[in-house]
Amino acid sequence: MESIIEQLPEALEKRPDIARKIAFLLSQYFLTKEETKKILEEIKSLRIDFNKEMLNINNRLEQQGRRLEDLTRKLEEHSMEIKMLREDFNKGFKSLRDLISALGSRWGIMSE
């Protein structure tokens, strides 16, 4: 194989028709510089598009995160309000029971 590679340049100089045949055969298996350049440009374009899309996704995720934090904060505020209302209700209900019990004691009725 090495002897063929060593003899190839001289053979190609002597027989340009063989050089064209070999070039054609190699073109069936290898890319030209232009084809390689086109592929690399397309990859670069895809990478740029991908990076833009990832930035868009990142921005949307950050917005969703802020909205989720906002909703969580509001939920905590509402939970506190509900807790306070429940405490107020329980205090009011206890006061009502105490009043009913006091009235019952005056009239001789025991509350159960």
Give the pLDDT confidence of 66-111 residue by residue, as tens digits.
999 999 999 999 999 999 999 999 999 999 998 888 887 777 665 4
Q: Are 104 and 110 in contact (CB under 8 A)?
A: yes
Q: Are residues 66 and 15 in the same domain?
A: no
Q: Are 22 and 12 in contact (CB under 8 A)?
A: yes
* Joined tokens for residue 84: 């306070």
Residues 58, 65: Cα–Cα separation, whole Å = 10
Q: Are residues 25 and 47 in the same domain?
A: no
Q: Are residues 16 and 43 in the same domain?
A: no
* pLDDT at position 32: 86
Q: Are residues 86 and 71 in the same domain?
A: yes
Our count of domains for the chain comes to: 2
* pLDDT at position 79: 97
Please tell me whether the overall predicted TM-score, pTM, comes out greater than 0.85 for this model: no
For 4-27, what is each residue's pLDDT tens digit? 888 888 888 888 888 888 888 888
Containing structural domain, residue 90? 33-112
Q: Are residues 22 and 40 in the same domain?
A: no
Sign of the Cα pseudo-torsion (74, 80, 82, 85, in order) = negative
Q: Are residues 22 and 11 in the same domain?
A: yes
